[in-house]
Amino acid sequence: MRSYLLRRLLQTLIVLFAVITLVFVMFRLLPGDPTAMLIDQSLDEAARQRLLVEWGLDKPLFDQYLTFLKNIAQFNFGVSFYYQAPVWQAIHTAWWNTVVLMGLAMIIALVAGVVIGAYLGWKRGSLAERAGLVTALMLRSTPIFWLGILVLMVFAYWLHVFPTGGMRQLGYHSESLLDTYLSFDFALHLALPLLTASLYFIADPMMVMRTCMLEVKGEDFLEYLDALGFSERARMRHCARNALLPVVTFASIMVGFVFGGQVLLEIVFAWPGIGREMVLAIERRDYPIAQATFVVMSVMVIVMNFVVDILYSYIDPRIRYA
């Protein structure tokens, strides 16, 4: 067991290293350099060179790469060219905005999805199941940005119940992070993107749960419970508990989105999150921010993958590890 763990850990580290290197190479291949996006009134060629020196972009690529690696090892992503501030300082609010939106959406999607999925699995063959499945299929086939546009059209433009975008009414002064996210105004702005994201994510946990229910329902111990005289409710609960494992797996995959955000969703709702920030950074050639967002997003997914693998080998003893 321990040797397996060590080996997986080592492999994961290699994968991380590969992704980090890939990210560095990808961004350096982008045509143009950060100065191109900047103000041009006073920027003659010599001045441009000076900026490049200031940003360390005059050094050979390999040196830049080493610096990048060294910094990352210290969790330091450098100073943003565009914001002229350390990366974390420049984007931490965007990060929290995304985590709040996507985290809530994930919780809603998982809870609602599991409950509905379990119900659908239990009511196999009913009209409700059919309706549920068609809805899930349609949601799976819908691009998230279009779903967002529809939600905006209905609730913001026609019914005028919710604001069209952004996160905050003007003049709103929040004194603390908690205060920022615990206000009616924030809830109002959060409602539509949250609805869209939840709808978008709900189909998968719902379907996974339903299938699991079907499989578990077929297993012997349910008949055993039946024989013991357990009520339908109690049996259903029992059944659902057994089906949760794959749902948890699925949840771990979604964690990547929580930290990476959904670029398209954030664009439609003008949500000041990390996904938008990343796209803007790519456009501005703000390497430090682009690399930081990209790397953290990748690292989250890879680490979650690793954790799930390890968890699996603990939870389910049937699985052999070499």
Partner 1 sequence: MQGQVSRRSFLKTALAGASAFAAPSAFLTLAPGAVAAPGQPVPPISMMYYGNWPEIVELFRKAAQDFRKIGLTPQLNPAPSSVAVPKTLQQHDYGDWGSILWGATPERIDPNFYLEEMLSSKSKRNYGYYNNPKYDEAVKAQQEEMDPGKRAALVKSAQAIAAADYPIWWLAHPVVISAYNQKFFANVEEILGAGYGNMYSIWNYLNITPKTARKTLRVGLEIEINTLNPFTAPTSPNQQFMRFFYDTFAVIGPDREPHPRAAESWKTVGPKTVDVKLRQGMKFHDGKPVTGEDVAFTFAYLRKWDFPFFRSALEVIENVEVKDYDIRFHLKRPYAPFFANVLSWLFILPKHVWQDIPEKAGVKNPGEYQNPKPIGSGPFVFGHWRKGQEIYFKANKEHPLAPKVDDVYFVLIPSVDGNAGALDRGEIDLTQQTLTPALADQLAQNPEVKVGYAPSHAVYEVRPDLRKAPFNDVSFRKAIYHAWDRRPIINYFAGKAIASGNTPITPILKQWHNADLKAPEYDLDKARKVLKDAGYTWNSDGQLVMPA
Partner 2 sequence: MHSPARTLRRQPGGLSSALRLLGSDRMALAAWCVLVFFLFLALFGPAIAPHNPIESNYDANGALVRLKPPSAQYWLGTTNLGQDVLSQVIAGARIPIMVGVISAVFVVFIGTNVGLIAGYFGRHVDDVLMRITDIAYGIPFIPFAIVLISITGIGITNIILAITLLLWRTSARVIRSQVLSLKERPFVLAAKLSGASDLRILYRYIAPHVLPLAMLYMAFGVAWGILAEASLGFLGFGDPEKISWGQMLYYAFRSGAIRIAWWWTVPPGLAIVLTVACFYLIGRTFESVANPRLRER
Give whole-number Cα distances, 147 to 140, 144, 193, 259, in Å.
11, 5, 10, 21
Which of helix, strand or coil describes residue 18? Answer: helix
Question: Binders of partner 2: how many residues, by CB under 8 A?
Answer: 74
Q: Which of 57, 87, 136, 255 binds partner 2 (CB under 8 A)?
A: 136
Tokens at residue 91, please?
Answer: 């984007």
Distance, in Å, from the CA atom of 240 to the CA atom of 301, rounded to the nearest integer, reads: 27
Residue 163 contact among partner 1, partner 2, none, beta carbon within 5 to 8 Å by kind: partner 1
Q: Which of 84, 141, 176, 231 binds partner 1 (CB under 8 A)?
A: 84
List the interface residues with partner 1, window 46-75 (CB under 8 A).
46-48, 50-51, 54
Does the protein bind partner 1 through residue 30 (CB under 8 A)? yes
Does the protein bind partner 1 through residue 156 (CB under 8 A)? yes
Q: Which of 86, 246, 270, 272 binds partner 2 (CB under 8 A)?
A: 246
Which of helix, strand or coil describes residue 225? Answer: helix
Q: Which of 117, 121, 148, 165 binds partner 1 (CB under 8 A)?
A: 165
Distance, in Å, from the CA atom of 83 to the CA atom of 94, rounded to the nearest integer, reads: 13
Give whole-number Cα distances, 104 to 112, 135, 271, in Å.
12, 21, 14
The answer to whether residues 284 and 82 touch, using CB atoms and an 8 Å cutoff, is yes
Q: Which of 71, 76, 93, 313 binds partner 2 (CB under 8 A)?
A: 313
Which of helix, strand or coil describes residue 283? Answer: helix
Q: Which is nearer to partner 1, 28 or 48 (CB)?
A: 48
Minimum CB separation from partner 2 for residue 188, in Å?
Answer: 19
Q: Which of 107, 111, 137, 182 binds partner 2 (CB under 8 A)?
A: 137
List the interface residues with partner 1, window 256-315 (CB under 8 A).
270, 272, 276, 282-285
Burial (0-12, 13-18, 19+ Cβ within 10 Å), 108 = middle
Residue 301 contact among partner 2, partner 1, none, beta carbon within 5 to 8 Å by kind: partner 2
Q: How many CB atoms lie within 10 A of CB 294?
A: 21
Q: Which of 239, 258, 264, 292 binds partner 2 (CB under 8 A)?
A: 264
Does the protein bind partner 2 through residue 209 (CB under 8 A)? yes
> Rounded to the nearest 10 degrees, how much is the dihedral formed by the CA atoms of 198, 118, 259, 179?
60
Question: Binders of partner 1: how many residues, by CB under 8 A?
Answer: 48
Does the protein bind partner 2 through residue 102 (CB under 8 A)? no
